[in-house]
Structure 1
Amino acid sequence: MSDKITFNASDIAQLLGISRSAAYELMHREDFPTITIGKRMVVLQNQFYEWINQQSKNTPVK
């Protein structure tokens, strides 16, 4: 998957270990960097990893 420029819902589900429907829910969040191309929803790979890093900074470690 590392040679892809964008990730789709299936890719995100696999990367995060969540269901595809949960990935679609994530992609509809306002704070998630989704791009709509026609009817396709994708996220740029670098923006996905930036979003993940930002989430880890906002989540306190227990």
Structure 2
Amino acid sequence: MKTVADRKTLAELPDVMSVQQLGQFLGVHANGVYELVHQQSFPSVQIGRKFVIPKAGLVKWLETQAENKAVS
């Protein structure tokens, strides 16, 4: 079974990821992901003290970020 760090494409990611899983995939420290989940525009859900990131929301967010950068 592949770990999140072994997955190379968004299609290979689980439907819902933890902060640590997303950090491993993106190659950033979990602290960087925590900064993102505290932004109102970033798609995350807090369950108790834990944050999870839905893959579908992440894909839309990434597309929006890329579009905004292209327009700037």
TM range (shorter): 0.7 to 0.9
Superposition deviation, residue 38 in structure 1 = 1.8
C-alpha displacement of 1:14: 2.0
Aligned equivalent of 1:27: 37
Larger Rg: 2
Q: Partner residue of 1:42?
A: 52
Structure 1 position 7, deviation (Å): 1.2
SS, match of residue 43 in structure 1: strand
Percent of pairs with identical residues: 26
RMSD: 1.7
Gaps of 5+ in 1: none
- The structure with more helix, counted as a fraction of residues: 2
Structure 1 stretches of at least 4 aligned residues deviating more than 3 Å after TM superposition: none
Deviation for aligned residue 1:8: 1.2
CA distance in 2, matches of 1:59, 1:30: 18
What's the TM-score once normalised by structure 2's chain length? Answer: 0.72
**Residue correspondences, number:** 61
Q: TM-score, normalised by structure 1?
A: 0.81
